[in-house]
Chain A
């Protein structure tokens, strides 16, 4: 994570410069105040001058303070921006298997957890890069500037004041282990509860169908309780931090009163000195008080860092080889060595097989979405693992079983992977026999579908997904059970349209539907390998 902070060293340096100016002014103004207070007793006429001067400096200090905060907070935001970008860009290159497993190296890979990492965990890194960094700099600079002045005013008192600081540090360190553990626990419980709700709501149709709401409520109640327990533990420790930080500052005043008072009695300290010293102590209250916050922010950031790195370090097992070639055309045949089969360019191929025989896996292998052995599948004699992913996936495309639609308009969903004009989209919709149904939607092609949109039936979603893939018009198209939700009549109609569209191109149908299989040029039967 240091990498992200270090990258902004220039911005931080600039922020530090402004902070130094701010703190120098903050140290100088009490000197003026001290002068002024001492002038009151002797009724000096230059008092007004001193006060005007102090006011001007106060304005300047406010400007410097605002600028320094803006600079450093903005860096925090920039780090957030970069992290989000990097994590997202990394996630989309990971193979589908990563997302279908429930966890990887102890990190949950369910959608809920991943989203929580990109939002919550990145946020705690942002707090580190912005708020925490600003306050670390400010604390160090404030001490560096103000301490010498305090020593100058009263050496013993300042030593006594400084002696309080290790108490803070020791106290925070003694709690830090627990805070870290409990923080971790809370994060885990939070992830658990979001995953539970996410799953519950995604499978709500099943829960409703079996009237399992009460059972789910019971399970929720247990998880909810665990989250509460984790929080209670964290609270027990955290409740001390704020008051302890504040009490240190107040103790500073007790010291000032006693030791400063004694010095005044001894005639070594003026009322002005006392006032200035009080202002300095006040100046240092915030830096000391934030120490506790800083430590919790840093710990939280550490926990988040582990989680973020866990994602960033997952190796995208499927990536371009160093010598991967670009392949833009499909000339002769696909050879699937593990099945001892060849598929010739321009044919229609049916794939059948019992459940669990690996039909979908074959489809994923053809697009290199799943790992495969060397030379397992060759296109025009070239191992597909030697082909750049981008060009392979342009060449081969798939209509997957999950007819996921994006929360966009119908139009944007069909033209998702390729920019199409209106006529082209309508044409495709007609080919998959969905145009009339789209027109009957409230806003036609502009109707929003997907999670946030109108409800489409399984068959409608299937046809949208087919249209979306046909738009790409790849050399090799695999349809994974893509007509299963359709009645015979429409599935036949669409099949014929697809056959018409895909003359001279290669189309592979994974299906059990005999009326589709009879139209195929070639059949591949997969056997289940019981391992």
Chain B
């Protein structure tokens, strides 16, 4: 992908700021002109009033110069202000798009992509982009305009001397290219080492308790020191390239002045060359090399902008794994409202079975995860409204996968799943997951208080907080957590109780328990089931369990072995 393509990726994000960008671009030639005219004013003053001993004339030129300086200052402030603002506003929009896209990814994306990587896509990469968008793209334009402005005024002043100075642009160009390449390579290497270091860091911080439990802190320290050392070493080359480049360019600009003086001395007598001109050219040669030297810095900056854009594009190009079908989505929305309307009249929210369709129907479902280990193989079964189902099987036999497919966290490879005769692919995900609540054994407690952990952004009007509270009361330890701003010290058993409250607060029609009480003691478990039985009357319950009692009380037992259904 060329750099130009990458810039084009930003185009839709730039669009809302079209006018600001146009304004900032319109200022560019003006600010370059007020900058590059300054040596000419110097020359005019020296060769004019100064040579003529005209003090009043000198005043005028000094005022002109001051005016140019002042206008240039104002234009620059305005320009920086606009571009920085646009840069940050644009990046905020991109961050939102990235996060929105992340949220629309299916679970298989999260299986493949570590959390840390996605976090840095939205945070540090975007930081980089905001900084380098302004520090790179915009300043490059400014430098280019300055170079053009200076060349223009220089040739206007004296084309012969301009040629002398311009000749030096050639070595500068090649030196810059050479060091840039060196720097780019070195930087790439350093970035790779940094990525390794950061990934190790991330793991060891997230898994710190395991590191300590395994008494491996010393080992981790050594390993970290090793990665840290490698990163440090990888930076050596880039430091060298950077230091040598700026020193070399400073040297070449001195050479240019020296050559300028030498050539001037040769043509001084023969031409109309004045002392003011020589001084102006010394100024110009400095002023010309400054933006060129900057350009090389800017290119390294912009390189990181391109990296950030490339990564951003990579993420945005990731296809949305599971989409609500367009058009069909609309239809099913209508169907949904209809359904709710009818339901409220008929049986208060329970899923109404249409015709004689089964509530849940698995038709020859096949599925494998990204890593190609087949998990489900031709699984078919039917569940009727109000049934109690038990799914049993050894670990790794695909029990949890059945549930993940039912709630469409993953898209199945073959076959179909229907709910009330509707293919789940045609049911909006929100509707589907409001109907089916799954209580997994693994949960996650978000920063925030108990209430926000139960509600999770759902509309409070639709929630039965009373029911949730009855579940929470089963874990007396949570009582002291109730008023805390942030939950802490929640035991894994308590987490599972929170999990129940979280699921049941929305009064789902189909409830799935996936080892939901594995970490809860028998007494509390009994109390939970009593509450649950009260709630579940007439609703459908699917349980994944090893315990005999659940299996005994089930209407239907599904046994999975290596991804195939054994018996019903």
Q: Are B96 and A204 in contact (CB under 8 A)?
A: no
Scan A294-327; emit 1 where CB is below 8 A from any B CB, else 0.
0000000000000000000000000000000000
Given A210-B456, A246-B76, A354-B521, the answer on whether A452 and B114 have CB atoms closer than 8 Å is yes
Q: Are A278 and B279 in contact (CB under 8 A)?
A: yes
Q: Are B286 and A282 in contact (CB under 8 A)?
A: yes
Q: How far is the CA of A360 from the CA of B111 in the complex (A)?
A: 29
User: B36 within 8 Å of A by Cβ?
Assistant: no
User: A353 within 8 Å of B by Cβ?
Assistant: yes
Report which of A74, A235, A531 forms a contact with B85, defined as CB distance below 8 A. Answer: A235
User: B346 within 8 Å of A by Cβ?
Assistant: no
User: B396 within 8 Å of A by Cβ?
Assistant: yes
Q: Are A208 and B521 in contact (CB under 8 A)?
A: no
Residues of B within 8 A of A457 (CB): 395-396, 400
Residues of B within 8 A of A398 (CB): 213
Scan A203-227; emit 1 where CB is below 8 A from any B CB, else 0.
1111111111111111111001101
Given A85-B224, A190-B123, A217-B100, the answer on whether A238 and B84 have CB atoms closer than 8 Å is yes
Given A58-B251, A210-B458, A243-B73, the answer on whether A356 and B476 have CB atoms closer than 8 Å is yes
Q: Are B396 and A459 in contact (CB under 8 A)?
A: yes
Report which of A227, A441, A460 forms a contact with B92, defined as CB distance below 8 A. Answer: A227
| Shortest Cβ distance from residue A269 to the other chain B in the assembled complex, whole angstroms | 10
Scan B383-408; emit 1 where CB is below 8 A from any A CB, else 0.
00000000011111000100000010
Q: How far is the CA of A54 from the CA of B255 in the complex (A)?
A: 9
| Shortest Cβ distance from residue A378 to the other chain B in the assembled complex, whole angstroms | 20
Q: How far is the CA of A40 from the CA of B72 in the complex (A)?
A: 34
User: B13 within 8 Å of A by Cβ?
Assistant: no
Residues of A within 8 A of B432 (CB): 211
Supply 18 further A-B pairs (C-beta < 8 A) apart from A81-B231, A85-B224, A253-B69. Answer: A40-B278, A43-B269, A67-B243, A69-B247, A81-B232, A195-B447, A205-B107, A206-B444, A209-B437, A257-B58, A257-B62, A258-B59, A261-B50, A264-B50, A271-B46, A398-B213, A400-B210, A481-B518
User: B492 within 8 Å of A by Cβ?
Assistant: yes
Residues of A within 8 A of B535 (CB): none
Chain B residue at minimal CB-CB distance from A447: B371
Q: Are A407 and B114 in contact (CB under 8 A)?
A: yes
Scan A107-148; emit 1 where CB is below 8 A from any B CB, else 0.
000111011001110000000000000000000000000000
User: A27 within 8 Å of B by Cβ?
Assistant: no
- Provide the main secondary structure of the chain A interface: helix
A:76-120 near B, CB below 8 Å: 77-78, 80-81, 84-85, 88-89, 91-96, 99-103, 110-112, 114-115, 118-120
Q: Are A216 and B103 in contact (CB under 8 A)?
A: yes
Q: Are A81 and B229 in contact (CB under 8 A)?
A: yes
User: A48 within 8 Å of B by Cβ?
Assistant: yes
User: B199 within 8 Å of A by Cβ?
Assistant: yes
| Shortest Cβ distance from residue A407 to the other chain B in the assembled complex, whole angstroms | 6
| Shortest Cβ distance from residue A16 to the other chain B in the assembled complex, whole angstroms | 16
Residues of B within 8 A of A48 (CB): 262
Q: Are B239 and A224 in contact (CB under 8 A)?
A: no
Q: How far is the CA of A200 from the CA of B110 in the complex (A)?
A: 12
B:194-225 near A, CB below 8 Å: 197-199, 201-221, 224-225
Q: How far is the CA of A329 from the CA of B497 in the complex (A)?
A: 40
Residues of B within 8 A of A488 (CB): 546
Stretch at the interface among A29-37, A157-165, A496-504: A29-37
User: A66 within 8 Å of B by Cβ?
Assistant: yes
Residues of A within 8 A of B373 (CB): 440-442, 454
Q: Are A416 and B214 in contact (CB under 8 A)?
A: yes
Q: How far is the CA of A239 from the CA of B88 in the complex (A)?
A: 13
Residues of B within 8 A of A205 (CB): 107, 110, 409, 440, 442, 444
| Shortest Cβ distance from residue B171 to the other chain A in the assembled complex, whole angstroms | 13
Report which of B198, B214, B246, B434 forms a contact with A65, defined as CB distance below 8 A. Answer: B246
Report which of A100, A250, A401 forms a contact with B492, defined as CB distance below 8 A. Answer: A401
| Shortest Cβ distance from residue B250 to the other chain A in the assembled complex, whole angstroms | 6
B:249-273 near A, CB below 8 Å: 250-251, 254-255, 257-258, 261-262, 264-265, 268-269
Q: Are A442 and B371 in contact (CB under 8 A)?
A: yes
A:445-477 near B, CB below 8 Å: 450-452, 454-455, 457-460, 468-469, 472
Residues of B within 8 A of A208 (CB): 107, 407, 409, 433
| Shortest Cβ distance from residue A244 to the other chain B in the assembled complex, whole angstroms | 8
Q: Are B258 and A51 in contact (CB under 8 A)?
A: yes
Residues of A within 8 A of B153 (CB): none
B:320-374 near A, CB below 8 Å: 369-373
User: B515 within 8 Å of A by Cβ?
Assistant: yes
Report which of B58, B219, B497, B546 forms a contact with A261, defined as CB distance below 8 A. Answer: B58
Q: Are B65 and A257 in contact (CB under 8 A)?
A: yes
Residues of A within 8 A of B209 (CB): 96, 99, 369, 400, 402, 404
Q: Are B447 and A355 in contact (CB under 8 A)?
A: no
Stretch at the interface among B160-168, B181-189, B296-304, B483-491: B483-491
Report which of B236, B240, B247 forms a contact with A62, defined as CB distance below 8 A. Answer: B247
Report which of A40, A353, A460 forms a contact with B265, defined as CB distance below 8 A. Answer: A40
Q: How far is the CA of A355 from the CA of B492 in the complex (A)?
A: 8
Report which of A81, A96, A487 forms a contact with B393, defined as CB distance below 8 A. Answer: A487
Q: Are B255 and A203 in contact (CB under 8 A)?
A: no
Q: How far is the CA of A440 from the CA of B218 in the complex (A)?
A: 34
User: A242 within 8 Å of B by Cβ?
Assistant: yes
Q: How far is the CA of A457 from the CA of B371 in the complex (A)?
A: 13
| Shortest Cβ distance from residue A370 to the other chain B in the assembled complex, whole angstroms | 11
Given A205-B107, A224-B95, the answer on whether A70 and B243 have CB atoms closer than 8 Å is yes
Residues of A within 8 A of B232 (CB): 77-78, 80-81
Q: Are A257 and B61 in contact (CB under 8 A)?
A: yes
Interface size on B, residues (CB 8 A): 165
Q: Are A70 and B239 in contact (CB under 8 A)?
A: yes
Residues of A within 8 A of B491 (CB): 355-356, 359-360
A:264-307 near B, CB below 8 Å: 264-265, 271, 274-275, 278-279, 282
- Provide the main secondary structure of the chain B interface: helix
Q: Are A92 and B211 in contact (CB under 8 A)?
A: yes
Given A84-B228, A92-B217, A209-B438, the answer on whether A55 and B258 have CB atoms closer than 8 Å is yes
| Shortest Cβ distance from residue B121 to the other chain A in the assembled complex, whole angstroms | 9
Q: How far is the CA of A188 from the CA of B392 in the complex (A)?
A: 48
Instruction: Rank and list the top 6 A-B pairs by shortest CB-CB distance, nearest first.
Output: A215-B457, A356-B477, A355-B493, A459-B395, A203-B444, A69-B243
Q: How far is the CA of A195 from the CA of B447 in the complex (A)?
A: 9
Q: How far is the CA of A96 from the CA of B208 in the complex (A)?
A: 7
Q: Are B477 and A91 in contact (CB under 8 A)?
A: no
User: A486 within 8 Å of B by Cβ?
Assistant: yes
User: A349 within 8 Å of B by Cβ?
Assistant: no
Stretch at the interface among A176-184, A334-342, A389-397: A389-397
Given A205-B107, A253-B38, the answer on whether A29 and B242 have CB atoms closer than 8 Å is no
Report which of B214, B220, B258, B518 forms a contact with A485, defined as CB distance below 8 A. Answer: B518
User: A63 within 8 Å of B by Cβ?
Assistant: yes
Q: Are B45 and A450 in contact (CB under 8 A)?
A: no
Q: How far is the CA of A76 from the CA of B162 in the complex (A)?
A: 41
Residues of B within 8 A of A235 (CB): 81, 84-85, 88
Q: How far is the CA of A205 from the CA of B279 in the complex (A)?
A: 70
Residues of A within 8 A of B197 (CB): 84
| Shortest Cβ distance from residue B41 to the other chain A in the assembled complex, whole angstroms | 8
User: A185 within 8 Å of B by Cβ?
Assistant: no
| Shortest Cβ distance from residue A118 to the other chain B in the assembled complex, whole angstroms | 6
In the assembled complex, 15 residue pairs joining A and B whose CB atoms fall closer than 8 Å, in A order, are: A29-B254, A81-B229, A88-B224, A205-B409, A210-B506, A215-B457, A232-B88, A251-B66, A253-B42, A254-B66, A359-B491, A404-B206, A458-B442, A472-B214, A484-B441
Given A195-B447, A393-B215, the answer on whether A119 and B198 have CB atoms closer than 8 Å is yes
Q: How far is the CA of A417 from the CA of B119 in the complex (A)?
A: 29
Residues of B within 8 A of A332 (CB): none
Report which of B54, B107, B240, B372 forms a contact with A70, defined as CB distance below 8 A. Answer: B240
| Shortest Cβ distance from residue A310 to the other chain B in the assembled complex, whole angstroms | 16
Chain B residue at minimal CB-CB distance from A230: B88
